[in-house]
Chains A and B, each alone.
Chain A
Amino acid sequence: MATYPIARTVPVEPAAQATTARRRRGFGRWFMATGWRHVVGIVTSAIAVFPLLYVVSTSFATSGTLTGSNQLFRSFTLDNYVKLVSDPGRPFVRWWFNTMFVSLFTAVASVFLCTLAAYAFSRLRFSGRRIGLGTLVITQMFPQFLGVVAIFLLLVSIGNAVPSLGLDTLPGLVLVYLGGALGVNTYLMYGYFNTIPRELDEAAKIDGAGHARIFFTIILRLVGPILVVIGMLVYIGVAGDFVIASVVLSDPRSQTAAVGLFGMISLFRNDNWGTFCAGAVLTALPVMILFLYTQKYIVTGLFAGSGK
Chain B
Amino acid sequence: MAIAPPPPTEYSPRDRVRPDSTRAPLAVIVITTVLVAVVDAFGVFLVLAFARTDQNAGAVIAALILVAINVTYFRKGGLPAKYLLPGLVFLLVFQLFVIIYTVYASFTNYGSGHNIDKSAAVTQILTNSVDRVPGSAAYPVAVLSKGGTLYLLATAPDGTAKIGSAGKSLETVTDATFDNGKAASVPGYTTLTLPQLLAQQQTVTALSVPVSADLNEGLLKTADARNAYVYRSRLVYSEQDGTMTDSKTGVVYADNGKGNFANGKGKVLEPGWKAGVGLSNYATAFGASGDTQILGVIAWTFMFALLSVFLSFALGTFLAVTFNEPKMRGRQIYRVIMILPYAFPVFLSGLIWSGLLNTQFGYVNQVLLGGAQIPWLTDPLLARLSVVLVSVWFGFPYFFLVSTGALQAIPEDIQQAARVDGATAWQLFRRIKLPLLLVSTSPLLIAAFAFSFNDFNTIFMLTGGGPTDPTSRINAGGTDILITVVYKLAFVGGSKDYGLASAFAVIIFFIVSTISIVLFRRTKSLEEVY
Query: What residues of chain A have their CB less than 8 Å away from a CB belonging to chain B?
Result: 1-2, 4, 6, 33-34, 37-38, 40-41, 44-45, 47-49, 51-52, 54-55, 65-67, 69-70, 112-114, 116-117, 119-120, 124, 126, 129, 132, 138-154, 157-158, 160-162, 175-176, 178-182, 186, 202, 205-206, 208-215, 236, 239-240, 242-243, 246-247, 258, 261-262, 265, 269-270, 273, 276-277, 280, 283-284, 287-288, 291-292, 295, 298-300, 302-303, 305-308
Contacts and interface: CB of A to CB of B under 8 A. Distances in A.
Contacts of A120: 79-80, 83-84
A213 B25 contact: yes
A298 B323 CA distance: 19
B299 interface: no
Given A119-B83, A126-B80, A210-B19, A41 B334 contact: yes
Contacts, number: 303
Interface string B183-196: 00000000000000
Interface string B320-350: 0011011111100010111111111111110
Given A52-B344, A54-B356, A117-B88, 8 more contacts: A2-B326, A113-B87, A124-B80, A151-B94, A161-B52, A179-B98, A240-B457, A277-B352
B443 interface: yes
Interface string B483-504: 1001100110000001001100
A161 B351 contact: no
Given A66-B358, A141-B516, A240-B347, A149 B102 contact: yes
Nearest to B390: A51
A292 B343 contact: yes
B454 to A, nearest CB: 5
A161 B54 CA distance: 9
B51 to A, nearest CB: 8
Interface residues of B, number: 109
B344 A243 contact: no
B355 A273 contact: yes
A258 B461 CA distance: 11
A182 B88 contact: yes
A273 B363 CA distance: 13
Given A66-B355, A295-B401, A161 B334 contact: no
Contacts of B99: 142, 147, 150
B83 A283 contact: no
Contact of B447 (A66, A140, A146, A152): A140
A149 B87 contact: no
B409 to A, nearest CB: 9
B362 interface: yes
Contacts of B516: 138, 141
B95 A150 contact: no
Given A4-B412, A161-B52, A270-B361, A51 B349 contact: yes
B352 A280 contact: yes
A284 B450 contact: no
A258 B349 contact: no
B322 A124 contact: no
A41 B87 contact: no
A250 to B, nearest CB: 10
B164 interface: no
A263 B502 CA distance: 25
B105 interface: yes
Contacts of A215: 83
